[in-house]
Amino acid sequence: MQFVKPDININFIAKRYIAFVVSAVMILITIISLIIHHGPKYGIDFAGGTLIQIKFDAPTQIADIKTGLGTLDIGISSVQEFGNVTDYEFLVRAKGSASISEDVSLKIEEVLESATGGKVEIRRVEMVGPQVGKDLREKALLAMFFALLFITIYISGRFELKWMLSGVMAGALMFAVYILQLFAVSIPVLMTGALLVTLVLFWFLELKYAMGAVVALIHDVTITIGLFSIFGKEFTLPIIAALLTIIGYSLNDTIIVFDRIRENLRKHHKKRLGFILNKSINETLGRTILTSATTLLVLITLFIFGGGIIHDFAFAMIVGVLVGTYSSIFVASPILLAWQKRQRT
């Protein structure tokens, strides 16, 4: 059985401008959504606060829960259904991050049982203080930065076989980050600065494959963040794990195509680059789609059966894998073409 015929020949490169517009629009929507929502919506891991997961033994109205909890002075900010409808589970969020002291959790049970007339089980309580939230936020951003840095070094070393140059890159990047740190800029600014420096360095050091791969990565992560923002989903620790995995995994498809491009460049060195890119993308189209398909298959089962806690993680991964597959075809390879134009002029 074969989905993709071996002799398939779709002219992807000719359609790259459409793809550029699509990508640009998606990134623009991400930025607009982030501006409208005042940045990413942080879950309690990063913003601090309290989250209580409760389970009833019978259908219960959110309004009843709210009125019940209203009698307690614990600053409830939202009550929301969680997981499957038939589980009768709810997430209660409170702004305060004082530890659920002594009797509050007992009181919650009492109050809810009298307000709704059903049996209540408190399944999970999470409280994160503001200081811990801030620490975790910085740690998460640093982790993303380091993942990008190491992968960049690996890619530039591996693809261009210029380990020396990639070492220089890493050094320059560290230096840039150090300088930025002296100005005590916030971590997001620091990361944006570091990424810009990375891209500029790639451009001048002529590390074109690395540039294509990293642009595709930034593209994937940005759009995933954007979709999260649009759907009003929260950023939590598992979501950061998903983003990091996307950084590692969405490269797979890019690597498959790039490896083929280098192979074809050796084989058909007389042909135009556009032709070679197109040929390589088409030749590897089958595996690009298949590898993503098997991963999507398990992610979708995780999304459906994995339960509420893992739901958003699966969602982020699904988006990341889809966007990653798209970007390896329509973003990473066409960037190589931009290079050729630069060399000609």
Partner 1 sequence: MKKLSWRPVAVLIVILTAIVYVLPSVWPGVWPHKKINLGLDLQGGMHLVLEVDTNKAVEDAIERIAQELRSRLRKERVRVLALDRVHGTQISTRIVGKASIDQFYKTLDTDFKEMRILSESESDETLTVVIDLPDQEAEQIKKLATDQALETIRNRIDQFGVSEPDIRNQGKNRILIQLPGIKDTKRAKNLIGRTALLEFKLLDETNDIGAALQGNVPPESEILYEDNQDPTTNRTTKTPYLVKKRTLLTGAQLVDARVQIDSQYNDPYVSIEFDKKGGRIFESITEQNVKKRLAIVLDDKVYSAPVIQEKISGGSARITGQFTAEQAHDLAIALRAGALPAPVNILEERTVGPSLGADSIRKGLMSMCVGGILVMLFMIIYYKGSGIIADLALMLNIVIIAGGLAAFQATLTLPGIAGIILTIGMAVDANVLIFERIREEMNLGKTPRAAVDAGYSRATLTILDANVTTLIAALVLFQFGTGPVKGFAVTLSLGVIASLFTALILSRLIFDYLLINRKIKSVSI
Site of interaction with partner 1 (CB under 8 A)? 1-2, 6, 53, 99-100, 102-103, 105-106, 121-129, 131-132, 139-140, 142-143, 146-147, 150-151, 154-155, 158, 237-238, 240-241, 244-245, 247-249, 251-252, 255-256, 259, 283, 286-287, 290-291, 293-299, 301-302, 304-307, 309-310, 313-314, 317
Question: 234: which DSSP letter?
Answer: P
330 vs 62: CA distance, rounded Å: 45
Q: How far is the CB of 235 from partner 1 (least distance, A)?
A: 13
Please, what is the minimum distance in Å from the beta carbon of residue 179 to partner 1?
A: 23
Question: Considering beta carbons, is residue 16 or 88 the nearer one to partner 1?
Answer: 88
Asked if 49 and 96 count as a contact pair (C-beta separation under 8 A), the reply is: yes
Cα–Cα dist 108/125, whole Å: 12
**Minimum separation from the CB atom of position 111 to partner 1 (A):** 16
Give whichever of 15 and 262 is closer to partner 1, judged by the CB atom: 262
Q: Which CB, 193 or 238, lies closer to partner 1?
A: 238
**Residue 235 carries which DSSP code?**
B
Cβ burial of 179 (10 Å; 0-12, 13-18, 19+) is exposed
Q: Which two tokens stand for residue 303?
A: 């999304």
- The nearest distance, CB 119 to partner 1, in angstroms, is 12
Q: How far is the CB of 321 from partner 1 (least distance, A)?
A: 9
Tokens of 146: 């380091």
**27 vs 143, which CB is nearer to partner 1?**
143
Tokens of 32: 């607009």
Closest CA to 115 of 53, 69, 51: 69
